[in-house]
Structure 1
Amino acid sequence: MKNVHLAVLIYLLFIAPFRPLSAQTNVQRINVTELIDSLTSTLDNYYVFPEKAELINKHLRQQLIKKAYEGISDPMKLSEKLLDDIRSVHTDPHMRIYYDSLFTNRNKGEQKPSAEEIEELKRLEKEQNYLFKKVEVLPGNIGYLLFNGFSGDIEGSKSTVSSALKFLINTTAIIIDLRSNGGGSPEMVSYIESYFFQQKTHMNDIIDRLSKDTSYFYADPAKTAGITLKMPVYILTSKRTFSGAEDFSYGMQSVKRAIIVGETTGGGAHPTKPFLLGQGFQINVPFARSLNPYTKTDWEGTGVKPDIQSSANEALKITQTTILQKQLAGIKDEQQKRKIQWAIDRLSASEEFTLSSETHNLFPSTYTGGLNFYVEKDKILCKNNERGGEIFELKPIKKSLFTLDENAHVEFIKDKSGKISSIKLLFENGRIVDKPRIN
């Protein structure tokens, strides 16, 4: 099944968005009966579930008899109407219908990529760094990896993938961000999975309807040139996480190699092939199904359910906090504890808050070392005279604790009478500095 998506990917990702609208809508009258015949025949022959194809086709023919498509001259709207009618009786998120006048004079049937198209996609993926967007180490020595697709060019992308993962080899936990990942190559899915296992592990099967062939996918550390990441893994998901990204998440979750945090994913488990229907129309037909060797099912229609449910926007912060709290529970050294607590507190800082009268009364105040705190336009500011008068805006963490700058928090300390008498500067490295108030 390798490269079955290439031609349609080239078109959808790199050609269609930039074509002028007039080129897409300059069409002749559509023969809807002929189009429905071509569509139903394609589904009969190739759709992964024959009984569902029969159900869809029966409905489309009934709609044709009812003249449901009369008066729709815009091929884009006709594509949408056909897909809506299909989904009214059976929903498969991978099934899509498109129109483009570029397809008008091409032969009907499966659209296989040419050698030139394959090379063009490889070039375009390379230009996008094989969809790898970010790799970094977060506070608490937490690795973070963001990539938005599973490239079909495994050989070309190997150095990029291995470099990104090798960069994280000394971290204590890894967060893989798939919240905007729409999927891709199943071979790339198993290749990236291979970095997280010490033994060859069966991850997924894909069963082709027509050939009855089954492709078996394994995470195999022999593929990774000795790079093995043994630390805990957390995967961030959203409603946009789809297809191959769900394959990765579902597989890692099913063998208890990763904890999923975020939203239930899109629910698409069926690989597709593009078929031309004539008159400029194309359909992506799911022709195979996934089967997890442990759950004996897949995520089609249900999505991957997170272990820790949250909004997509909050998933990263929640995951970082979860990891840091686990680290904190296992640490005995006090300075190390303060380092981890500092990272947890930083995640709790609020960007927006209402300045209470109690907080307002803390200011203005000045402390040794030239730190002057004051309120201006409902913002708490600190002028640091030891740093050339640089001004920082404080963000609240909790009642008397605030962020100060990129490396420090400040805690206001009250004396027995309830007045602020000093501050504690809490640094990222766990160091604490006390500074008495001077006015």
Structure 2
Amino acid sequence: MTTPTKLIPAQVIEETARLVAEHYVFPDTAEQLADLLRRRLAESAYDVDDAAELARLVTTDLQSLNNDRHLRLKHHADQVPAKRGAATLEAMRREFDASLGGAPHVQLLDGGVAVLELAPMLFPLEWAAEPLGAALALVSRADALIVDLRANRGGDPDTVAFVCSHLLDERTHLNSMFWRDGGRTEQSWSQPHVPGARFGGTKPLYVLAGETSFSAAEELAYDLQQLGRAIVVGERTRGGAYPCQGWTVHPHLEATVPVGRAVNPVSGTNWEGTGVQPDVACPVADALDRAHALALARLTDRPTDRLTD
């Protein structure tokens, strides 16, 4: 039986403060946050013996300056490995295996309208290319498509580009990422070729989103919306546009720190803090029915509802 590792808040706080100061995408804010954590430690704000409670307290302080929801001290019930990012990858793999590779639901509705749910994440492309490619090829024959991201918490930007590639006709600039490390800039483009059939860039496309949609799921909705390719239906998303990395700072605690920021080539900005605003606002529970009605109206050339209510 493994002996539980004693929680020493001072060690966790100091290591978390160091990681934030060295890696957070905004250096000035990083220094302020590191100082805040150390000041709160000196004030005995973290004098707790429960790892989950410490994670809650520290996350509240980390998000207090600019409400960056990717910036967290994350608690894991199971002990996690020390290798950077390994905690997140292990949890991700379990969800991948339990969700048919991130495409748990495909359905054909009346009128030739297909629904493809992508959940609970957009998993790393080296895992997800085969199951997502199969699902996207299956719905490619539909007359209209609804992509359901309401339960999608984020994932891999490369997988965002992979999905977009099936929904566009030409190679398209989707996003740019600016990294703190080395001041690098990387562009994300859709792929000119996809395995299997392509739904393409002209048939009606709707994206369902809401408060649970986060991070890479938001990028998928935002990219397609800004390109004028899809109509987003539902509620405003959570608003996390900064990709992060994770470091284990205790056997049950992982510091996740944003290390880059996204800039959309159409809007010149991103969805951080604001979320993706729906084109058709409605309760998230009603979004599928609403999108289906819009698709049917468009396919039959009936007058459609206004985009906003």
Q: TM-score, normalization: structure 1?
A: 0.62
Q: 1:263 aligns with which of 225, 235, 259?
A: 235
SS for the counterpart of 1:264 is: coil
Cα deviation digits, residues 197-242 of structure 1 (max 9, x gap): 1111000112211122222111123134452423111000010001
**Alignment of structure 1 residues 5-404 onto 2, 5 Å:** 26-28=4-6, 30=8, 32-70=9-47, 72-99=48-75, 102=79, 111-113=84-86, 125-126=96-97, 128-148=99-119, 149-154=121-126, 156-225=127-196, 227-229=198-200, 230-278=202-250, 281-329=253-301
Q: Is residue 276–residue 283 contact of structure 1 (8 Å, CA) maintained in 2? A: yes
Higher relative contact order (CA 8 A, sep 6+): 2
Distance in 2 (CA, whole Å) between partners of 1:302 and 1:96 is 19
Structure 1 position 85, deviation (Å): 1.9
TM-superposed CA distance for 1:167, in Å, is: 2.4
1:43-62, Cα deviation, whole Å (9 max, x unpaired): 11001111111221222222
**Cα pair distance change 1:123/1:242, threshold 3 Å:** closer
Q: CA deviation at 1:258?
A: 0.4
Shift, 1:263, TM fit: 0.6
Residues 21-78 of structure 1: per-residue CA shift (max 9 Å, x gap)? x989x44252x333322221111100111111122122222222322223x2222212
Query: Would the aligned equivalents of 2:204 and 2:295 in 1 still touch at CA under 8 Å?
Result: no
Secondary structure, aligned partner of 1:51: helix
2:64 aligned counterpart, secondary structure: helix
Matched letter for residue 253 of structure 2: F
Task: Tell me, in whole angstroms, the C-alpha distance in 2 between the residues paired with 1:122 and 1:291.
Answer: 29
Q: Distance in 1 between matches of 2:251 and 2:94?
A: 30
SS in 1 for 2:104: strand
1:221 and 1:228 in contact (8 A); partners too: no
The unaligned stretches of length 5 or more in structure 1 are 1-21, 332-439
SS state at 2:183 partner: coil
CA contact (8 A) 1:272 1:285 kept: yes
Q: How much is the aligned-residue C-alpha RMSD, in angstroms?
A: 2.8
**Alignment length (residue pairs):** 300
Partner of 1:362: none
1:330, 1:306 → 2: CA distance? Answer: 22
Structure 2 vs 1, CA of residues 29 and 309 (structure 1 numbering), >3 Å: closer, same or farther? closer
Q: CA deviation at 1:267?
A: 0.7
TM-aligned CA distance change 1:173 to 1:67, over 3 Å: same
Structure 2 residue ranges without an equivalent (≥5): 304-309
Alignment-mate amino acid for residue 274 of structure 1: G
Larger Rg computed on CA atoms: 1
Equivalent pair of 1:48/1:289 in contact (CA under 8 Å)? yes
C-alpha distance after superposition, 1:97-128 (max 9, x if no partner): 1345835xx76xx61549xx979966863453
Query: Would you say the 8 A contact 1:195–1:224 is kept in 2?
Result: no
CA distance in 2, matches of 1:85, 1:200: 42
TM-score of the pair, normalised by structure 2: 0.87
Query: How far apart, CA to CA, are the structure 1 residues paired with 2:262 and 2:274?
Result: 13
Q: Which AA in structure 1 matches 2:84?
A: Q
Whole-angstrom distance in 2 between the partners of 1:326 and 1:203: 26
Residue in structure 2 matched with residue 334 of structure 1 by the alignment: none
Is the 1:193–1:219 Cα contact (8 Å) retained in structure 2? yes
